[in-house]
Amino acid sequence: MPAASSDPDKSVLSGPDRPGADDPGRGRRIAVDVGSVRIGVASCDPDGILATPVETVPRSKEKGPDAPDIRRIVALVEEYEAVEVIVGLPQTLRGERGKAADLASAFARRLQRGIEPIPVRMADERLTTVTASRALRESGVKAKGQRPMIDQAAAVAILQGWLDERSRAVNVSDPEGGDRPTGDAL
């Protein structure tokens, strides 16, 4: 797991996270695909099996914690009673950070302040938008109507990847439904 920054304003980790020992257990998760114009949002069922699209939120020019885009995501986290939020971290194919990754990390830090103590995780999202775009095109969605749907589909891909990795890391045989990771599974 990447090291946390010593800067208190950068409490969200600088690199991608992985599901692990700090898993919050059973409950809905929200994923966001942060773009420069729109934010795709997805959620999952309480058992963390299937990710589904929620909506596309317009990006705000405001950058503070009370910006309309942050407020909308905070409202969705509350509405869905999310136990965790996953923000896509767009890295290069070589795993390096660029401007888009810095944008997503800054958004995640602002979001974290609005939803504490709910954890915000960063997940590797390389190629999710490309994959989502291709899937929509192949399903017959016209290019003109694709953009908001692509953002949601990318958020679904981010969340589904997280859920799949989480299911491998979590002991799902807990009869109480606690879904806590086991040391052997990590």
Q: 48-79, pLDDT tens digit by residue?
A: 999 999 999 999 999 888 999 999 999 999 99
pLDDT above 90 for 84? yes
What are the beta bridge partners of residue 55? 41
- Reported as a single tens digit per residue, the pLDDT across 131-164 is 776 776 777 776 666 777 888 989 999 999 999 9
Contact 29, 156 (CB under 8 A): no
Residue 37 amino acid letter: V
Separation CA 181–CA 170 (nearest Å): 4
Instruction: Look at the pTM and tell me if it is higher than 0.85.
Output: no
Where on the phi/psi map is residue 27: left (φ > 0), alpha (ψ -120 to 50), or beta?
Answer: left
Residue 12 amino acid letter: V
What would the mean pLDDT of 74-90 be, rounded to a whole number? 96
